[in-house]
Amino acid sequence: VSELDLSSSLEAARKETEAAAKRYIAAQEGMVSAENELREARNKSQRLERAMRIINGEEEPAAAVATATATTAPPVAPPPPPKPAPSGPFANLACSACTSVGKMEEVWKPTKNGSMAHLLVCSDCKNERYLG
Ligand SMILES: [Zn+2]
């Protein structure tokens, strides 16, 4: 293989790469515009479906307006903080009724005769265990 052949092969390969890159870019641009068209078409059909539901009385126009104007999703409330792991002397205590472990909470309750009753209450099944 002569040096000339090699350089002409290289030249051809470069041109082919360039052409392929151009085709790739064109395909990408085509995809973007197709995506936009798809989005437009979906929006249109959703608007028409909603109009149809309003005409059929299946949806309140006010609600439809509200959903139509709400272009952005409402902010999602942050999830509640995780419950603290049970601690204390009853953390590993199992409920005698439902056998849940660590659900017994220490509670003081006033009794009829004015004293305080010391109880453990299960937060799962509300089973009470009298401690005195
Ligand atoms: Zn229980």
Task: Indicate the pTM of the whole model.
Answer: 0.34
Q: Which of 97, 120, 101, 94 is nearest to 109 (CA)?
A: 120
In whole angstroms, what is the distance from residue 8 CA to residue 15 CA? 11
- The tokens describing 119, both together, are 């109880």
In the reported structure, the alpha carbon of residue 129 is separated from the centroid of ligand 1 by a whole-number distance in angstroms of 10
Greatest mean pLDDT among 21-35, 74-88, 90-104, 108-122 lies in 21-35
pLDDT digits (tens, 9 = 90+) for 6-17: 999 999 999 999
In the reported structure, the alpha carbon of residue 116 is separated from the centroid of ligand 1 by a whole-number distance in angstroms of 22
The mean pLDDT value of the chain amounts to 86
- The tokens describing 92, both together, are 């590993």
In the reported structure, the alpha carbon of residue 11 is separated from the centroid of ligand 1 by a whole-number distance in angstroms of 80
In the reported structure, the alpha carbon of residue 99 is separated from the centroid of ligand 1 by a whole-number distance in angstroms of 6
In the reported structure, the alpha carbon of residue 120 is separated from the centroid of ligand 1 by a whole-number distance in angstroms of 10
Q: Which residue has the higher pLDDT, 64 or 35?
A: 35
In the reported structure, the alpha carbon of residue 104 is separated from the centroid of ligand 1 by a whole-number distance in angstroms of 7
In the reported structure, the alpha carbon of residue 63 is separated from the centroid of ligand 1 by a whole-number distance in angstroms of 44
| pLDDT for position 90 | 84
| pLDDT for position 63 | 58
| pLDDT for position 39 | 96
pLDDT digits (tens, 9 = 90+) for 39-80: 999 999 999 999 999 899 888 777 556 655 656 667 788 887
